[in-house]
Amino acid sequence: MKTIREQIIERIIAQLETIMGANGYHNNIGVGHVYRQESVLEQAHTPAISVWELAETRERNKYGGTIRQLTIRIEALVEVNGDKHPAEVSNELLGDIEKALIMGDMSLDEFIDDIQDIAAEVIQVPVNRKLTEILSESMSEIAHLPLNWKLAGATIDFEIRYTTEWGDPYTQ
């Protein structure tokens, strides 16, 4: 048996795998390109999305249940094709992720009370460094991904509110 939280994360990953042009999105991510707790900046290929579970707050409700608020971060990196500016592709990527999670497959609704995007940004990295060096050092001088890399990236944070029985994360 899986916790409600685990079932929510699995549904989120499945919904992100539907991001394909054939499904009405601007970018093509698809099955096999959505990771969990792995930085897409470390991946050797694009497209790639990673789902990060950040913090979860909990409080007891008046009915004896536990209201949980899970914050997740979606990190994505895609190639820029054609004459588009990377910032334009990054904004399309943000839109695709938001649409997939909020307006996509409504089966996520059976587990959650609410989902809301709370922060978004274009991924930024030092322009004079290799991607592998970025992750191990502090980012004091940052700029957008260099244009000649033909990559666009974005992060978007969501708060997901769901309720479980008090002391039982397996039951709603």
Say if 171 falls within a structural domain: no
Closest CA to 92 of 9, 22, 28, 168: 28
Say if 79 falls within a structural domain: yes
Q: What is the pLDDT of residue 19?
A: 95
Whole-model pTM?
0.81
Say if 161 falls within a structural domain: yes
Q: What CATH number has the domain bearing residue 35? A: 3.30.2000.10
99: Cβ contacts below 8 Å, ≥ 6 apart? 25
> What digits encode the pLDDT tens for the residues 50-95?
999 999 999 998 888 999 999 999 999 988 887 888 888 899 999 9
Domain count, the chain: 1
Say if 84 falls within a structural domain: yes
Say if 172 falls within a structural domain: no
Q: What is the pLDDT of residue 141?
A: 45
Cis omega (within 30 of 0) on the bond before 146?
A: no
> What digits encode the pLDDT tens for the residues 84-127?
888 888 999 999 999 999 887 676 678 888 899 899 888 654 44
Say if 68 falls within a structural domain: yes
Domain of 99, in residue numbers: 4-165
Interatomic CA distance for residues 154 and 40, integer angstroms? 10
